[in-house]
């Protein structure tokens, strides 16, 4: 099938408005989780959200990742979110976090529109609509695009790179495309290292067409901009940055879903069956077209999808929210598959085409019930904990929590006031200490049982005035550390206050 039928309008004349409508629906689906008495904090707050927001907000206080606390991701998200998170200096952390949570769904809506526009320009209006619908209702994308996770900005930058790089331009335009695409690709890698799969996919996409000059220009710009992203942080703390970004990621013990087949089912089955069927058709189309010089988009998205799947299946740690990174490539491949199916049906009969249109629509929207279910989740315990902390802990007391969100809901950031322990990522910090010896662990839980993992944490807890453990703290502390807490702190409801 050709990229567009002879009667189709040119790619530049395809209308935006249907995609904007889908984008508006995507935004509503994401913010639906905040329409209740608890507001943005009434929807469950993930551990990672607290870590990433804290890192962004602390930048405005001069507290830097790697130098001032252990951090296991590149600095991109913290830097990009810091202008909004800096509202914590004017108001408090809870207000700033609420603003960020309302802002992130806008990124999801933009990614939805970009997914549709790329497919629309390459394969026609129907492909664009299906791609936008798939991204809009993709369960993990909708869930992560309700808060400061890595994936919302990661997906947006990857889609932005693809949109810039795939637009038809002249020779000078191609040079500008490569430069801007390289900037966006480097930014994606500065947000999460797994964005490197898009680098490999881009090399295959244009390398197979013999466009090696464009590939080298893209990769060269990405390398230079990547150095700009990480250079200042590396100069300030080269050892801790190397340890967090490379050593920790290579040596960390397995965690999350460990069974490979279960991971595959989570990625492609369960809540994704209809979309996975369309994606499978798209991959078959790519297989047929892959040798064509002009099939750059097909190779780019198929390569990114396949490499992301391989990365998730082989990584030591995996949680379902990681699937959000599959949403861009999945949406585009589903759009391609849907376009081929509808053209094939039209070639047989109008009635068959009508039936196939319904089947494709149902497949594209099949994850919607799961996404709506996710939006309806509620967490009243966090707000109650925030109320208890505000009532019992003064602003000048050093509060230490094992999940940053527990302090954020009370308007507090780790490391504030100055001199308080900056417990931004207690999980990563304690695993880092466990990895300091020769032992390798079968799981994160086994690592926490080793007393080596308690070393730095115990010294930091000794500087705390008030401590919140809850389930996570009890999981990460060894029996000896829990005994130490009981000896030095007295329990007051959900809080532990230092004994006189």
Contact call for residues 55 and 97 (beta carbons, < 8 A): no
Helix-strand-coil split of the chain, %, nearest 5: 70, 5, 25
Q: In this structure, how many other beta carbons lie within 10 angstroms of the beta carbon of residue 286? A: 22
- Parallel, antiparallel, or unpaired: how do β-strands 317-318 and 399-401 relate? unpaired
Encode 364-375: b = buried (16+ Cβ within 10 Å), e = exposed: bbbbbebbeebb
CA dihedral sign, ordered 424, 45, 454, 485? positive
Q: Would the CA dihedral through 304, 130, 376, 38 be positive or negative? A: positive
pLDDT of residue 347: 92
CB burial readout 205-214, b (16+ within 10 A) else e: bbebbebeeb
Strands 317-318 vs 489-492: parallel, antiparallel or unpaired:
unpaired
Those residues of the chain that have pLDDT short of 70 are 1-12, 169-172
210 Rama class: left (phi>0) / alpha (psi -120 to 50) / beta? left
Give CA torsion, residues 265, 266, 269, 270, to 10 deg: 120
Among 234, 225, 144, smallest CA distance to 190 is for 225
Please report the pLDDT score of residue 12 as a whole number. Answer: 55
* Spatial CA neighbour of 357 closest among 301, 287, 286, 278: 278
Q: Distance from first CA to last CA of the chain, Å, rounded? A: 77
Domain coordinates of the chain in residue numbers?
13-375, 381-498
Which residues are CB-neighbours of 140 under 8 A, at least 6 positions away? Answer: 151, 320, 321, 322, 323, 324, 326, 327
Cα 223 to chain centroid, rounded: 22
C-alpha torsion sign, points 114, 116, 117, 123: positive
Under a CB-based contact definition with an 8 Å cutoff, are residues 457 and 481 in contact?
yes
CA 92 to chain centre: 25
3-state secondary structure 47-108: HHHHHHHHHHHHHCCCCCECCCECCCCCCHHHHHHHHHHHHHHCCCHHHHHHHHHHHHHHHH
CA distance linking residue 26 with residue 29, whole number of Å: 5
Sheet holding 466-468, edge to edge: 399-401, 466-468, 495-498, 489-492
Partners of 489 in the beta sheet?
Answer: 498
Q: Is 69 left (phi over 0), alpha (psi -120 to 50) or beta?
A: beta
Task: Report the sign of the C-alpha dihedral through residues 271, 309, 194, 430, in that order.
Answer: positive
Shortest CA distance to 409 belongs to which of 440, 392, 430, 384?
A: 384
Element (H, E) at 114: helix 93-123
CA 334 to CA 362: how far, in whole Å?
13
Classify residue 493 as left (phi > 0), alpha (psi -120 to 50) or beta.
Answer: left
Query: CB 83: neighbour CB atoms within 10 A?
Result: 11
Determine the pLDDT at residue 319.
Answer: 94
Cα 478-480-483 angle, rounded to 5 deg: 110
Are the C-beta atoms of 490 and 499 separated by less than 8 Å?
yes
Distances (CA, A) of 170 to 119, 166, 175, 176: 21, 12, 9, 10
Asked if 75 and 67 touch (Cβ cutoff 8 Å), the reply is no
Q: How far apart are CA 219 and CA 206, in angstroms?
A: 12
Whole-number CA gyration radius for the chain: 24
Residues 248, 432 contacting (CB under 8 angstroms): yes
Give me the phi and psi of 489, to 5 degrees please.
-130, 150
């Amino acid at each position: 099938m050709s990229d567009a039928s002879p009667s189709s309008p040119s790619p530049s004349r395809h209308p935006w408005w249907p995609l904007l409508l889908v984008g508006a629906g995507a935004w509503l689906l994401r913010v639906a989780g905040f329409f209740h008495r608890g507001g943005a904090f009434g929807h469950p707050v993930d551990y990672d959200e607290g870590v990433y927001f804290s890192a962004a907000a602390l930048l405005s206080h001069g507290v830097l990742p790697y130098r001032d606390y252990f951090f296991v991701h590149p600095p991109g998200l913290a830097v990009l979110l810091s202008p909004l998170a800096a509202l914590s200096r004017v108001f408090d952390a809870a207000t700033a976090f609420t603003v960020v949570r309302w802002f992130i769904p806008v990124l999801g809506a933009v990614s939805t529109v970009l997914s549709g526009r790329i497919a629309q320009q390459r394969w026609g209006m129907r492909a664009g609509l299906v791609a936008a619908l798939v991204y809009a209702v993709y369960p993990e994308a909708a869930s992560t695009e309700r808060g400061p996770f890595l994936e919302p900005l990661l997906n947006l930058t990857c889609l932005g790179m693809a949109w810039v790089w795939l637009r038809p331009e002249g020779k000078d335009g191609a040079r500008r495309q490569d430069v801007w695409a390289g900037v966006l690709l480097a930014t994606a890698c500065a947000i999460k290292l797994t964005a490197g799969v898009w680098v490999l996919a881009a090399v295959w996409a244009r390398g197979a067409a013999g466009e090696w000059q464009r590939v080298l220009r893209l990769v060269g710009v990405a390398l230079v901009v990547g150095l700009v992203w990480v250079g200042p942080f590396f100069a300030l703390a080269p050892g801790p940055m190397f340890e967090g970004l490379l050593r920790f990621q290579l040596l960390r013990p397995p965690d999350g879903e460990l069974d490979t087949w279960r991971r595959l089912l989570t990625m492609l089955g369960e809540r994704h069956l209809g979309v996975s069927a369309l994606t499978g058709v798209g991959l078959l189309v790519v297989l047929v077209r892959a040798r064509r010089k002009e099939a750059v988009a097909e190779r780019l998205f198929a390569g990114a999808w396949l490499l992301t799947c391989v990365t998730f299946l082989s990584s030591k740690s995996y949680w379902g929210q990681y699937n959000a990174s599959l949403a861009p490539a999945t949406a585009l491949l589903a759009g391609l598959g849907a376009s081929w199916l509808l053209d094939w049906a039209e070639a047989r009969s109008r009635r068959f085409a009508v039936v196939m249109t319904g089947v494709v629509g149902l497949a594209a929207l099949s994850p919607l019930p799961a996404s709506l279910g996710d939006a309806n989740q509620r967490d009243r315990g966090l707000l109650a904990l925030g109320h208890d902390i505000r009532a019992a802990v003064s602003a000048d007391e050093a509060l230490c929590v094992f999940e940053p969100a527990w302090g954020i809901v009370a308007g507090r950031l780790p490391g504030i006031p100055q001199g308080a322990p900056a417990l931004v990522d207690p999980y990563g910090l304690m695993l880092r200490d466990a990895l300091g010896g020769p032992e390798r662990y079968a799981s994160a839980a086994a690592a926490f049982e080793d007393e080596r993992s308690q070393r730095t944490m115990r010294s930091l807890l000794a500087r705390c005035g008030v401590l919140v453990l809850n389930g996570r703290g009890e999981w990460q502390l060894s029996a000896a550390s829990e005994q130490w807490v009981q000896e030095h702190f007295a329990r007051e409801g959900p809080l532990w206050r230092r004994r006189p």
